[in-house]
Amino acid sequence: MIKLFIRRVWKNKIYWLAVFSALVLLLCSVIYTDMMTGETFTYLSLFYNEDMQARLGYGAISLKDIFIGYNLNNYLWMFAPIIVGIPCVLNQRTERFVLFRGSKNGYFISKYVSNLILGGGILVLAHVIFILTGMGLVQYLTIVKQMDILPELFWDSYMAQRLWDIFCDGVLNAIPGILLAEFIRNKYLILCVPFVWNYLVDMFLMSWIPLEIRQVLLPEENPIVYAGVLLACGILIKVVAERRCDCGQK
């Protein structure tokens, strides 16, 4: 049943629009700041700014560091709750035929798991395309412009770990929208409420919590807490599914 949800969302152009939106935010990331003038440069400037291309050539800018997340200042994680919430909005419609063929619990848990996978997948796909643009840029500069660029190994264990971390962060950001989708029907609230909550937490709550407490209690820092949050949300959805009487009417 999980394949059914994933296949349906993958065929929807809105899902790929969400991937494109995440990619645009990555491409517009600030990757370099001139310490003399204070001028900032985005990743896109590498494609047309000769000074930035020269910095890339002699190693002042490292694409590998950018892809891993160092020296990368962007708004992706601010808007991540909206972007990764797209699958749960697309999957909010419930098919009575599929629901009656299996158990109600199995149906809603399958939808929960597929939404988590699809939400995290959006960010992973965007980052993979982001990395491929960098590989294409290096090939263009070395072949067409005949620049000597310090070689970097993009695909290695560090990059694999980075993509896995991105997937896990995407899954975590998708949870609020998934839970809201089980209680309300308004798709705008499903997308906007997690965004507002994420903004308030990052702006105010994080500044009040000491680092030592964050490392213990926050899912992003503690794998045990992370797994507990996923399990607790799955149990909550199971309980809600058992008490629902709409028989799939959405």
Encode pLDDT of 53-95 as tens digits: 888 877 778 888 888 776 566 788 889 999 999 998 888 765 5
Radius of gyration (C-alpha) of the chain in whole angstroms: 21
Residue, of 74 and 187, whose pLDDT is higher: 187
Phi, psi of 72 (to 5 degrees): -125, 110
pLDDT of residue 246: 55
> What burial class does residue 21 get, using C-beta atoms within 10 Å of its C-beta: 0-12 exposed, 13-18 middle, 19+ buried?
middle
Please give the average per-residue pLDDT across 161-176, as a whole number: 92
For 8-56, the pLDDT digits (tens) are 888 899 999 999 999 999 999 888 888 888 888 889 998 888 888 888 8
**pLDDT tier for residue 250 given thresholds of 50, 70 and 90:** very low
Largest CA distance in the chain: 67
pLDDT tens digits, one per residue of 213-228: 777 777 777 889 899 9
Q: Token pair of 47, please? A: 């494609």
Q: Distance (Å, rounded) from C-alpha 173 to C-alpha 84?
A: 7
The answer to whether the CB of 120 falls within 8 A of the CB of 177 is no
What is the spatial distance between Cα 171 and Cα 136, in angstroms, rounded to a whole number?
Answer: 29
